[in-house]
Amino acid sequence: MNLTKTISLSTLFLFSGASVSTAFAPSRTFQTGLHQGTTHNSARRTLIPHLPKSNLLSQNSSKLTPPRQKSTLKLNGVVSDFVNALENIPEGTDLVAGAFIIFCAVTPYFLGLFFPKKFDESFFMKTYGDKDEEGRAAENNWKKMYATLGLTLTSIQFYAFLGHISVEDALRHDYIAWTLFYIAASIKLSVENRRNLIAYNYVPSQLWHLVVACGLTPDLFFSPKKG
């Protein structure tokens, strides 16, 4: 009797252990699915090229950069390139450009001495009235301004002769004097026009002085680097 109970109990324990092991053991379908998922991931990694982190960061930063900032960066690059180009201009270019502008500005006055009829009618156009005392005073102020300019230029050259400045610096100081003269001439004509002193040809006279002043002013702001 006891032997029969023992055999039956052992048989019961064997069946219960087999059922428990079967219940908690991983199924074939789960293992197959896991294996397939791993193979898909590995295949996906092989198909997608691996990009370096630096490229990914640059692409992300370029995507995140707003359009206005991009345009500002481009504008800054153009300005810096323009400044570098001005600094790399051959030495003495500013001196040649300033001399050319001044020669063009004063040559008509010089030729007017030899061809008075032609230049008095075409270039030295009438500005003030015939019997206007204030107009005559304004005309005399031009002579005073030219005399002051001549005195300034002579003083600069004499200063260079004494050895205090070089010939190049003396030329640049001359260009500053010429620029100030034409700026003062433009202001003079504008004030006289407001006071109704100018009777004829204000616009062409003012344009002439403004063109010369605008041509000389940029020449003062850049100086090529010495090699």
The pLDDT of residue 23 is 44
50: left (phi over 0), alpha (psi -120 to 50) or beta: beta
Considering the entire predicted model, what is its pTM?
0.59
Confidence band of 65 (pLDDT split at 50, 70, 90): low
Name which residue leads in pLDDT, 30 or 156. 156
Residue 174 has pLDDT above 70, yes or no: yes
Residue 122's closest CA among 112, 136, 110, 130? Answer: 112
Q: What is the mean pLDDT of residues 45-68?
A: 50
The span from the CA of 24 to the CA of 174, in Å, is 102
The span from the CA of 164 to the CA of 143, in Å, is 30
Q: Could you identify the residue written with the tokens 């020449």?
A: 219
Q: What is the mean pLDDT of residues 122-147?
A: 81
Q: Quick one: tokens of 213?
A: 């002043």
The pLDDT of residue 66 is 59
Amino acid found at 137: A
Q: Could you identify the residue written with the tokens 């200063």?
A: 159
Residue 56 has pLDDT above 70, yes or no: no
Q: What percent of the chain has pLDDT over 90?
A: 29
